[in-house]
């Protein structure tokens, strides 16, 4: 992962064990500020990861992070995102990550 503050766009499904494992991994690194967009959209099955990548690309292109979708559980992100981590964690299987950078 890059040095410094990192915005992560989480496509976790909401399945209890998988989502808790991803959250624990993010919480273990104080530099990662995750945004769990399923809070807003619900889980979109196969479209979840491409949507996470699209949100990450928009943040990089616009040089602006997203506000906390759930202020009670998400850390603030005040930086300019030059690299954004997009993730997807399924219900029973399937995990994916992509590190999105400006071209």
Residue 14: what pLDDT? 82
If one counts every other C-beta atom within 10 angstroms of the C-beta of residue 84, the result is 27
How many Å apart are CA 63 and CA 61, to the nearest integer? 6
- DSSP one-letter code for 8: E
Overall domain count for the chain: 1
Residue 13: what pLDDT? 84
Contacts 24+ apart (CB under 8 A), 43-48: 43/13, 43/14, 43/91, 48/11, 48/13, 48/88, 48/90
Would residue 16 count as lying in a domain?
A: yes
Would residue 26 count as lying in a domain?
A: yes
pLDDT, tens digit, 9 for 90 and up, residues 5-45: 999 999 988 888 888 989 999 999 999 999 999 889 988 88
**Domain coverage including residue 86:** 6-101
State CA 73 to chain mean position distance.
13
pLDDT, tens digit, 9 for 90 and up, residues 62-79: 999 999 999 999 999 999
Would residue 56 count as lying in a domain?
A: yes
- DSSP one-letter code for 28: T
Would residue 1 count as lying in a domain?
A: no
| The pairing of beta strand 32-36 with beta strand 6-12 | parallel
């Amino acid at each position: 992962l890059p040095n410094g503050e990192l915005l992560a766009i989480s496509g976790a499904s909401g399945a209890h064990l998988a989502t808790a494992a991803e959250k624990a991994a993010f919480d273990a690194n104080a530099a990662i500020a995750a945004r769990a967009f399923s809070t807003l959209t619900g889980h979109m099955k196969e479209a979840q990861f491409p949507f996470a990548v699209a949100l990450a690309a928009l943040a990089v292109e616009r040089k602006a992070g997203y506000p906390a979708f759930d202020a009670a559980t998400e850390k603030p992100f005040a930086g300019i995102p030059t690299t954004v981590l997009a993730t997807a964690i399924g219900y029973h299987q399937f995990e994916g990550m992509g590190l999105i950078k400006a071209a």
